[in-house]
A and B are shown apart, each in its own frame.
Chain A
């Protein structure tokens, strides 16, 4: 099982994501954004950071990186793609998951621990999360206010597209609609979330709840191989 973690200019959680995947038992390697193939990766992670300095809009420029063509093809073949924080913003700009991430309602860069409810445990990204378990993970972002206009937002809720929601006691840190912290695409193979599972992958860091997501992802990719990824 090989995990590919894309490095854009300005990514800064790439090595943590590799480490998280390794802790969960996978092989993991970094993929350069100028490459146009995934070097045989079975699943792809777009990590956190500030790709292209977040100029214009967070994720807007990264979406045109050569590797994004391969990521799009991988998703089209049913391959798994996880976008974390800035990676979520890139997926949203690329239209691979619904919605947009606006400036936090507070106008501040919010960095703190939050709690998440897992709305769907039947996804490849959450299958290893025990029933009823809430997850503790940190956030660190300036643009994480999830937005989707109506009626698309109602449609997203109706199809079970919301996977993670901010929960009490810390609550919604950024003004996201419906407390949404993470969503999944209609095909159920591409997921984006603002909190950082890779920064909560070891008890040394204060929580290893994030490992549950890495484990889910890796076990699911092993169960449903996509064939020779380009």
Chain B
């Protein structure tokens, strides 16, 4: 996700379409991305270590993006 305080023009553009749907209750839209991947590892903590490194070094730019890891069933 774009970090807090970073201008998110995509979110703003999506928000500008809401009046056309007659939706007035939704605000503060921010657009991020979701990346799904598979890992071969002994167990979940080991997989997490690998993915955390991948997230910090490639998938996200920590200067501008925050990230979270979720293990899918």
Contacts and interface: CB of A to CB of B under 8 A. Distances in A.
A107 B58 contact: no
B41 to A, nearest CB: 22
B61 interface: yes
A149 B63 contact: yes
B58 A102 contact: no
A208 interface: no
Identify whether the interface residues of A are mostly helix, strand, loop, or mixed. Answer: loop
A105 to B, nearest CB: 6
A100 B61 CA distance: 8
Contacts of A57: 61
B63 A100 contact: yes
Contacts, number: 32
A32 interface: no
25 contacts: A56-B59, A57-B61, A60-B58, A64-B58, A93-B61, A99-B63, A100-B61, A100-B63, A100-B64, A102-B7, A102-B64, A103-B9, A104-B9, A105-B7, A105-B9, A106-B9, A107-B9, A107-B10, A107-B13, A145-B7, A147-B6, A147-B63, A149-B5, A149-B63, A175-B7
Given A56-B58, A107-B9, A147-B63, 16 more contacts: A56-B59, A60-B58, A60-B61, A99-B63, A100-B64, A102-B6, A102-B64, A104-B9, A105-B7, A106-B9, A145-B7, A147-B6, A147-B64, A148-B63, A149-B63, A175-B9
